[in-house]
């Protein structure tokens, strides 16, 4: 017996492939296009110039990485020729744990498809990064989870910011930087005025329900409702009897107010519906889908518990769902 249930795969494929465009995506795209336009114009003129970049922040699982990667993939796929005649590219590099400048140089070379001997010096590694970027037409570097490059030491952080700034002002080959991470990243970057001014800051908020007494005027309640109906429509599932203010509040609570976690749960729940041949979503289905990835005691579920906010510690629930 195989480990992959093809029926289960087929039930979720269309949902996994889908992309929901949040209003914040327009702001991110505008900032991205502004950076590219600025780079192109200055490169057309020639001479020494400094490029602009982006700082994208938000708590984990709010969608900042997926939205930014989507933009970069779209740009790379466009095969846009830059003023020097080369097709421009932006490279993605995810940082894991504490990392030194030398480590970052080595990791960047790997992302460029040019792994180097780690015994090389820091200077040699970064000279190779610049050379490979120039040869490959790479005009930008996207460092995700960039907070890992910073430490608690003021001096080391200042050096890091100076080095980032130097990449954006490099006379021979300027590089557009995109840095993303949790909110503390903005605090690090904003400590150096010059680079802070070069990076357009876009912040991705969590879900914030209850800003209006009237739920029909609450922007995040409206967006959450739209999100549920969009994924339900893709799966051809009826949610008319399920969705009301109470359900949306429970959905928000269950997913620790993270847009990304809501989407993951919708995919699991509607995937279950399709797998079982059900055309209508129910609280039972959502409870089952939630239990697949929950560390709460058996039988305890935000979708069914009468006084769920009193029975379940919201902070502990957040720790559990974000640790998964």
Using CA atoms, how far apart are residues 103 and 134, in angstroms rounded to an integer?
20
Residue-range domain boundaries for the chain: 24-204, 207-323
pLDDT of residue 280: 98
pLDDT of residue 161: 97
pLDDT of residue 121: 94
pLDDT band at 93 (very low <50, low <70, confident <90, very high): very high
Q: Is the pLDDT of residue 70 over 70?
A: yes
Domain 24-204 of CATH type 3.30.420.40:
no
**Highest mean pLDDT (candidates 210-224, 259-273, 306-320):** 259-273
pLDDT of residue 289: 95
Residue 315 CA: distances (Å) to CA of 5, 209, 215, 306, 309: 35, 16, 24, 19, 11
Q: Is the pLDDT of residue 324 over 70?
A: no
Q: Is the pLDDT of residue 10 over 80?
A: no
pLDDT band at 224 (very low <50, low <70, confident <90, very high): very high
Q: What angle do CA 155, 173, 31 make, to 5 degrees?
A: 75
Q: What is the pTM of this model?
A: 0.92
Residue 213: burial class (beta carbons within 10 Å; 0-12, 13-18, 19+): exposed
The average confidence (pLDDT) of the chain is: 93
pLDDT band at 152 (very low <50, low <70, confident <90, very high): confident
> How many other CB atoms sit within 10 Å of the CB of residue 320?
16
pLDDT of residue 89: 98
Q: Is the pLDDT of residue 80 over 90?
A: yes
Tell me which residue of 108, 120, 191 sits closest to 151, measured CA to CA.
191
Alpha helices by DSSP H, listed for 78-209, are: 101-111, 122-136, 154-169, 184-189, 193-198
Mean pLDDT, residues 45-56: 95
Mean pLDDT, residues 140-165: 94
pLDDT of residue 217: 92
pLDDT of residue 213: 80
Q: Is the pLDDT of residue 193 over 60?
A: yes
């Amino acid at each position: 017996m195989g480990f992959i249930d093809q029926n289960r795969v087929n039930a979720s494929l269309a949902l996994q492939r889908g992309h929901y465009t949040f209003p914040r995506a327009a702001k991110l795209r505008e900032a991205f296009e502004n950076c590219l336009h600025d780079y192109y114009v200055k490169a057309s003129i020639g001479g020494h110039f400094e490029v602009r970049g982006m700082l994208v922040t938000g708590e984990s699982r709010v969608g900042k990485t997926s939205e930014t990667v989507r933009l970069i993939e779209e740009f790379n796929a466009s095969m846009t020729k830059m003023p020097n005649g080369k097709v421009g590219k932006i490279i993605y590099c995810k940082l894991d744990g504490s990392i030194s400048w030398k480590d970052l140089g080595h990791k960047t070379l790997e992302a460029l498809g040019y792994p180097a001997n780690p015994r090389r010096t820091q200077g040699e590694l970064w000279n190779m990064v610049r050379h490979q970027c120039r040869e490959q037409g790479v005009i930008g570097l996207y460092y995700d989870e960039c907070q890992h490059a910073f430490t608690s030491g003021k001096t080391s952080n200042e050096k890091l910011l100076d080095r980032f700034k130097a990449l954006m002002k490099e006379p021979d080959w300027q590089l557009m930087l995109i840095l993303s991470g949790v909110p503390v990243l903005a605090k690090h970057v904003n400590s150096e005025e010059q680079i802070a001014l070069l990076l357009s800051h876009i912040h991705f908020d969590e879900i914030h329900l209850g800003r209006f007494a009237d739920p029909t005027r609450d922007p995040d309640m409206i967006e959450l409702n739209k999100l549920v109906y969009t994924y339900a429509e893709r799966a051809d599932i009826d949610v008319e009897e399920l969705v009301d203010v109470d359900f949306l509040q429970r959905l928000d609570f269950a997913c620790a107010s993270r847009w990304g976690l809501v989407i993951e749960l919708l995919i699991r729940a509607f995937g279950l519906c399709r797998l079982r041949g059900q055309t209508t979503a129910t609280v039972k289905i959502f409870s089952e889908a939630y239990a697949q990835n929950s560390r709460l005691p058996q039988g305890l579920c935000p979708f069914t518990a009468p006084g769920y906010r009193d029975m379940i510690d919201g902070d502990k629930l957040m720790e559990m769902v974000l640790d998964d």
